[in-house]
Structure 1
Amino acid sequence: MNIDRISRWHLLYGLVFAIIGMVLGIYMASSQNHVQHVTHAHILLLGFVLSAIFAVIYRLWLPASSVKWALAQTACHQLGTAVLAIGLFLLYGQVAPEATVGPILGIASIGVLLGAVLMLVQVLRAESRPSVMPKASAAT
């Protein structure tokens, strides 16, 4: 297991969330029922956009990051986002009442927040510039 693989996981998860979010958006548009707009926004922003940003951060700034930290961050973000999306879908689809889903949404939200905090910690511990930038040589 390495950071390149974790970066790829974030990218793949993000693309899956993008497809799910787009399908939900197309369904809402075709049915003219936009009750799931909150779910749609969370899937696209947390699932797609933030996952893609995390993939780029791992690729550019964190190639030497600890795999354990990266796995913990990935698990918190991806599991939290998936549970949050499912919970919101059930809540706004009136499949489950807020009293049932609310605590689950709270825990999932904390998981997503913890994933962001773990990413911040890794970035703060890393070098200050992207790894794709050439290092200054001692000969110049």
Structure 2
Amino acid sequence: MQGAARWFFTFAVLYAIVGMGLGLKMGITHVHDQIPTHAHIMLVGWVNSALMGFFYHLFPVVGASRLAYAHLLLQTAGTVVMTASLWLIYSGNTAFEAGAGIGSIGVLAGMALFAWIALRQIWKG
């Protein structure tokens, strides 16, 4: 695995560890206030990043492109800002709602860029 694929999959594994740790913490303490944060880390972080990493692994030329690295930066920054903001919001600090919105826009922009990259690749003649 190389290029953006390596980085996407590395971040995916890190998100999985953080998400599972948060889930374990909620289970042990019986305080489930972070369920939305846990869900976003696991789905947007772990699942999306792993799937994107596998795509770039299947298409290594695309995964080595500047566009793939731009996608990596956008997706990763958006995911980190969004999930960190969610954690702060569900910890009682609503001042970070704007951060969640900004991170969400980054994630959406990253997904739109990925859709363009992936669909262009699989439909090229």
What TM-score do the two structures reach when normalised by structure 2? Answer: 0.92
Matched, 1:63 2:64: no
1:56, distance to aligned residue in structure 2 (A): 0.7
Runs of 4+ in 1 over 3 A off after TM superposition: none
Tell me the equivalent position of 1:93.
91
2:99 is the counterpart of 1:104: yes
Counterpart in 2 of 1:134?
none
Percent of aligned pairs with the same residue?
35
SS at match of 1:64: helix
How do 1:1-140 and structure 2 match up within 5 A? 4-60=2-58, 62-65=59-62, 67-94=65-92, 96-97=93-94, 100-128=95-123
**Structure 1 unmatched runs, 5+:** 130-140
Aligned residues: 123
Q: In structure 2, how many angstroms separate the alpha carbons of the residues matched to 1:87 and 1:13?
A: 18
When the two chains are superposed, the root-mean-square deviation of aligned CA atoms in Å is 1.6
Q: 1:56-82: per-residue Cα shift (whole Å, max 9, x none)?
A: 11111x322262111111111111101
Gaps of 5+ in 2: none
Higher helix share: 2
